[in-house]
A and B are shown apart, each in its own frame.
Chain A
Amino acid sequence: MSNNKKKLLTPVQQQYQEMQSQLETKRPVLKNCLKAFLTGGSICLIGQAIQIFYIYFFDFTEQTAGNPTAGTLIFIAMLLTGFGLYDRIGQFGGAGSAIPLTGFGNAVISAAIEHRTEGFVLGVGGNIFKLAGSVILFGVSSAFVVALIKTILIQWGGL
């Protein structure tokens, strides 16, 4: 805990929090990292297989196969979310299943399912990006900044 936050606590509170944190079950970080690596890796492996499938059996190149691959992965994530399996994978895999494209799909779809009972417009429409909205906002803005830096470097930096 930051010192700033600690200053606001009374000695009794500080004492209790210290005692509490000793007894608190810690997140098994190393084990979680390993699980996340395996889960995320497996999802990417499946993605790779789908991409090769599209290139091999259809008229796609490595550049153009990206979109149908992403679509297929999101479709699979949608099915898994709807059948109530993705949250179990998420509890096992942590960031491994949250970071890839499928995690983003799960965030959107789970919110849509959750708010279905409140109607299509205010329920699904108003809440579908409840979790994914911040990913879109900060993803787009950081991409803009990165692109700006790249442009400046190429235009005036002589790269």
Chain B
Amino acid sequence: MLQGHRTWVFDHKPVILSTGTVGGPFEANGAIPNDFDLLHSDLWLNQDSYEKAHKVLFEQACLRAIEKAELQKEQIQFLLGGDLINQITPTSFASRTIGTPYFGLFGACSTSMEGLALGASIINAKGAKYLLTGASSHNAAVEKQFRYPTEYGGQKPPTAQWTVTGAGAAVLSDTGDGPCVTSATIGRVIDMGLTDPFNMGGAMAPAAVDTIEAHLKDRNIDPSYYDLIVTGDLGKIGHEVSFDLLKKHGTPIQENQYQDCGLMIYREGQPVLSGASGAGCSAAVVYGHLLNRMKQGEFKRMLVVATGALLSPLTFQQSETIPCIAHAVSIEYEGGATV
């Protein structure tokens, strides 16, 4: 299963049976509202705190994924998930409702692919028949923790990003029909010494580049093997920087095959500055929009590289730099699955 230094190749081809995606009002107004299973018109989601609303987001994404796979909660063996809130309480509390055995993960915004990589490896090793993995974030709950109060009138620089209110979850299985998880590359923690928490894209770009290059090297393939290489939430600046860095290192990557989830979810004119971010960003875009496009046959092979900035408000105030990580997972459908 291990190939090269840090890549898993899944011989038994774990299948993404179904997915569930939930979004908030800002996402409903965005570029891909039709790719969400459920959209909320209110940030509160009928709860009395944003943290509870955050929990409900993940809960609904999980339940919707289970429902779409025509399974019962009891048939799911494990749940792997995480979010950005202290002690990942929204995910843990949602798991209390769902009631399956649970692994809590923290990889900041890279949690979605961390979960998918680990989940696929458990399925591949016959450690489970059905397994649920996902990630979520809630704009107001996350901003409250990492930044200023939501209603505070501080000016954000053009490099800042908008935290997605959304959740995405997927049911993995060893049998069935659907896109297959074929390989995964686990990222190293990369720190380029950047300290500006309002420029996450710039801080995370080298981590994405490191993981992409490691993946291509371990699997001994060319970027052209993939129809799409998509990063998690680098935003405008991180996307440009990482593309330039890949070019500089001599990776023959094409501009039209290299995209970013953080630039897909919102439309022009929404006040998101450099793009979207948050654990729910890559989860909702990949499990909704991108898998839908894949099922429609638009492309067959994609590499998802979810990036995460492993900082906390405390480390930032103590003038520490921002360490970042990226995990890559390749998803293939139909023709690609037999390679």
Contact (A19, B245) CB under 8 Å given A24-B202, A25-B159: yes
Docked pose: A113 CA to B143 CA in angstroms: 14
> Is B335 located at the chain interface by the 8 A CB criterion?
no
Interface residues of B in 100-157 (CB under 8 A from A): 144, 148-157
Contacts of A24 in B (CB 8 A): 159, 199, 202, 237
Task: Classify chain A: how many residues form its interface, as a range.
Answer: 35 or more
Q: Which residues of A contact B236 (CB under 8 A)?
A: 25
Evaluate contact between A110 and B206: CB separation under 8 angstroms.
Answer: no
Q: Which residues of A contact B206 (CB under 8 A)?
A: 16
**Residue in chain B with minimal CB distance to A15:** B192
Q: Which residues of A contact B151 (CB under 8 A)?
A: 81-82, 84, 86-87, 106, 109-110, 113-114
A106 & B274 in contact (Cβ 8 Å cutoff): no
Q: Are the C-beta atoms of B48 and A117 separated by less than 8 Å?
A: yes
Closest to B202 in A: A20
Taking CB atoms and an 8 Å cut-off, the chain A residues in 1-30 that contact chain B are 8-10, 12-13, 16-17, 19-20, 23-28
Identify which of A12, A20, A27, A87 contacts B153 (C-beta below 8 A): A87
Bound Cα distance from A72 to B236, whole angstroms? 42
Distance between B159 CB and nearest chain A CB, rounded to angstroms: 6
Bound state CA distance, A6 and B144, in angstroms? 32
Does B271 interact with chain A (Cβ within 8 Å)?
yes
Query: Which residues of B have CB within 8 Å of A16?
Result: 192, 206, 245
Q: Which of B51, B153, B157, B194 counts the most A-chain CB atoms under 10 A from its CB?
A: B153
Q: Which of B182-208 contact A (CB under 8 A)?
A: 191-194, 199, 202, 205-206
Cα–Cα, bound, A91→B48 (Å): 27
A110 and B148 within 8 A (CB):
yes
Determine which of B155, B193, B237 lies in contact with A13 in the assembled complex, contact meaning CB atoms within 8 Å: B193
CA distance A87 to B155 in the complex (A): 8
Residue A111 interfacial (CB < 8 Å)? yes
Chain A residue contacts of B150, Cβ below 8 A: 87, 110, 114
- Would B148 and A131 count as touching, CB distance under 8 A? yes
A114 near B237 with CB under 8 A, answer no
Which residue of chain A has its CB nearest to the CB of B148? A131
Contacts of A86 in B (CB 8 A): 151, 153
* B196 and chain A: residue at smallest CB distance: A24
Q: Which residue from chain A places its CB closest to the CB of B193 in the assembled complex?
A: A13
- Asked if B241 is at the interface (CB within 8 A of a chain A CB), the reply is yes
Q: Is the CB of A117 within 8 A of B50?
A: yes
Question: Within 8 Å of chain A (Cβ to Cβ): is B222?
Answer: no
Shortest distance between the CB of B54 and any CB in chain A (Å): 12
Residues of A contacting B194 in the complex (Cβ-Cβ under 8 angstroms): 17, 20
Q: How far is the CB of B85 from chain A (nearest CB, A)?
A: 13
Chain A facing B: main interface SS: helix
Distance A32 CA – B155 CA, assembled complex (angstroms): 10
B272 to chain A, nearest CB (A): 11
Question: Which among B50, B149, B153 is the interface contact of A98 at CB below 8 angstroms?
Answer: B153
Interface string of B158-201 (1 = CB under 8 A from A): 11000000000000000000000000000000011110000100
Q: Which of B232-288 contact A (CB under 8 A)?
A: 236-237, 240-241, 244-245, 271, 274
A131 touches B149 (CB 8 A): yes
A103 interface residue per 8 A CB criterion: yes
Determine if B49 is an interface residue (Cβ-Cβ < 8 Å). Answer: yes
Docked-complex contact A27 and B240, CB < 8 angstroms: no
Q: Are A91 and B271 in contact (CB under 8 A)?
A: yes
Chain B positions within 8 Å of A109 at CB level = 151
On chain A, the residues within 8 Å of B237 by CB distance are 20, 23-25
- Contact partners of B148 in chain A: CB under 8 A: 110, 131
The residue in chain B whose Cβ has the minimal distance to the Cβ of A117 is B49
Pick the contact of B152 from A9, A13, A82, A87 — CB < 8 Å?
A: A87
The contact sample of 21 A-B pairs, CB cut-off 8 A, is A13-B192, A16-B245, A17-B194, A19-B244, A23-B237, A23-B244, A25-B158, A25-B274, A27-B158, A87-B152, A91-B155, A91-B156, A109-B151, A110-B149, A110-B151, A114-B144, A114-B152, A115-B149, A117-B48, A117-B50, A131-B149
Using a CB–CB cutoff of 8 Å, the interface residues on chain B facing chain A are: 48-51, 144, 148-159, 191-194, 199, 202, 205-206, 236-237, 240-241, 244-245, 271, 274
Query: Which 6 residue pairs across A and B have the least CB separation, nearest first?
Result: A90-B153, A114-B149, A110-B151, A117-B49, A110-B149, A94-B155
Known: A17-B194, A24-B202, A87-B151. 13 other contacts (CB 8 A): A8-B193, A24-B159, A25-B157, A25-B158, A25-B237, A32-B155, A81-B153, A82-B151, A89-B153, A98-B153, A113-B151, A114-B149, A115-B149
